[in-house]
Amino acid sequence: METVADFLAALRRGTLSARAAVDLALQRIAAADPALQAFLAVRADEARAQAARIDEQRAQGQDVGPLAGLPFGVKDVICERDHECTCCSKILKGYRPPYNATVIERLRAAGAIPIGRLNMDEFAMGSSTEHSAFQQTRNPWDTTCIPGGSSGGSAAAVAARMVPMTLGSDTGGSIRQPAALCGVTGLKPTYGRVSRYGLVAYASSLDQIGPLALSAEDVALVLPHLAGHDPQDTTSAALPVPDYCAGLSGDIRGLRVGVPKEYFVAGLDPEVRHAVQAAIARLSALGARVEEVSLPHTEYAIATYYVVATAEASSNLARYDGIHYGARAADTRNLLEVYTHTRRQFFGDEVIRRIMLGTYVLSAGYYDAYYLKALQVRTLIKRDFDAAFENVDVLVTPTSPTPAFKLGARTADPLQMYLADIFTVSVNLAGIPGLSIPCGFSEKGLPIGLQLLAKPFDEATLLKVGHAYQCATDYHTRRPANCTDLFDEETKE
C-alpha cells in the first residue's frame, strides 16, 4: 500500500478503512521521520477523528467524497485553520491562521485527511531545505544529502512512503527540484490553474501550489480536487478542469517532443545527461517524434528570476514588521527599532539576503535598470516557449543539473545554490506547467529527474506522457533502502 491509486482502490473496496489508512501513515511516520525530519507536526488525534467520521458515513451509505480516507501532508506555507503556519520562520512562530487555504477546503471536501505539517526552506526561499529555522530534512536515499527545496519535507515524506501524497509550492522549482532529488513525481501547474488563496506569498506572480506523489497517475487522481476557478483568488483561471485520468492511455504515438538544446550545456552532470538522454530515447521508442528546439533566452533566466522574485519578496515580506502579527523584538526604543530589530532577529540570513536584493532592484535609480529590464526579458522567455509549442506538444529537459548534493556543501556559496534551479525557473517566469518524474539513478544510488513542459493549461498532456513513460519504466516504483526495511517489517506483522 504505497500509491494514491493503491489507497483509493482499497478504501473503495472496503479492504481498508479510513482509520486504518491513517494509522498506517502514522506508523510509517513514527518509523521513518526521526531520521528524516520531514514533518514539523503530526496531528494523530484529529486525523483519526476525521477518519472515524468518514468510516461511519461510508457505513451509512453516505457520499464520502472521491478521496475519502486518503492521508496527506501539507507544506508549512499553506494555511490551515487554527493550526500553526510558520513558513519555517521564527518570525511567524505561533501564528495560527483563522481560515483554510482553498486547496485545503477542496481536499477536505473530497474526503482527504491532512495528517501534519511539512518542513521547508524559510518562506520557500531555498533549494535544499537547509534554510528552515527549525530542522534539517534529509534525503531518504542518502541521509547525508539534501532533499532539495523548498518543498524538501513534502518530497521526502512521499519518497519515504510516509504518506501517499503531499502539497508543495513552486516559485522557481520548489516542487519539481525536490521531486527529482527524492525520486518522486511532482507537478507545478499552470499559473492560475490552482488557487493561491491561503498560500503565504513569496513572489505572487510566480507562486503556485501543486501535488507530489509517486506517479503521474497519482497526480492525475488528485489534481482535479485542487484545480479550478476560485473567486477568492483573482489570478485563478475560469477554465474547466479536465478529467486528467481519461488521457492516461499509455499511448503517445505521434506526439511531438521537443528537446531544447540550451538545457544540455556545460556544467550538466554527466550522469544526469545520460539518464535524460536515455529517457528521451525511451519516449522515441514509445512512438513519440523527437526533435531539437531552441529557447534562445534561457541563459538569462536565472538573472531574470532573481530580480523579479526578490523584488516581489521585498514587497510581500514588508508586512512582517513586528506590529501586525508574528514575532516582535523586545527592548526597542522607537518605531524604527521595532522594524529593524524584529526583522534582523527573526528572519534568517537567506530571507534577509533576498529582501535586500529585492529592495535594491526596486529602489530609485535602479528600477528601470534592473526590475523593468527583467520584466522585459521575462516576456522574451515566455515568447520562446510560445514559439516552441507551435511545433511540439511537450518539451523534455533535465529537472536538476545534478543529483542531490551533501548537506552543507553549498550553504556558503549562495550563487551555487541558486544555480540548482537553472532548469526550472523559466517555467515559472513563463507561467506554464511542469512535471518532474524519476528517470534513473546515479552510481551512488541517488535519483535523477526528467522535466516535462507543456503549453499553458495543458497538464493533461504532461500527465499522459509521464504516465506512458512510467508504464515503460520502474524508476518511480523503487524505494529507498530504509523504506524497504520498513515495508519488510510491515509484511512480517
The set of catalytic residues is 75, 150, 174
User: Where does residue 440 fall: left (phi above 0), alpha (psi -120 to 50 degrees), or beta otherwise?
Assistant: left
Burial of 366 (0-12, 13-18, 19+ CB in 10 A): middle
The phi, psi pair for 237, rounded to 5°, reads -85, 135
Burial of 20 (0-12, 13-18, 19+ CB in 10 A): middle
Q: Which three cell numbers stand for residue 239?
A: 477554465
- Give DSSP secondary structure letters for 286-308: TT-EEEEE--TTGGGHHHHHHHH
Among 175, 200, 205, 204, residue whose Cα is nearest residue 92: 200
Cell matching residue 343: 526583522
β-bridge partners, 113: 71
What is the rounded CA–CA span in Å between residue 337 and residue 51? 48
Q: Do the Cβ atoms of 239 and 457 come closer than 8 Å?
A: yes
Amino acid at 148: G
The answer to whether 213 and 158 have CB atoms below 8 angstroms apart is yes
Could you give the C-alpha distances from 46 to 43, 50, 96, 456, in angstroms and in order? 6, 6, 16, 38
The answer to whether 406 touches 357, Cβ cutoff 8 Å, is no
Query: How many other C-beta atoms are found inside a 10 Å radius of the C-beta of residue 408?
Result: 12
For 422, counting Cβ atoms within 10 Å of its Cβ (0-12 exposed, 13-18 middle, 19+ buried), the class is buried
- CB-CB contact of 206 with 217 (8 Å): no
Q: How far apart are CA 457 and CA 398, in angstroms?
A: 21
Contact 38, 119 (CB under 8 A): yes
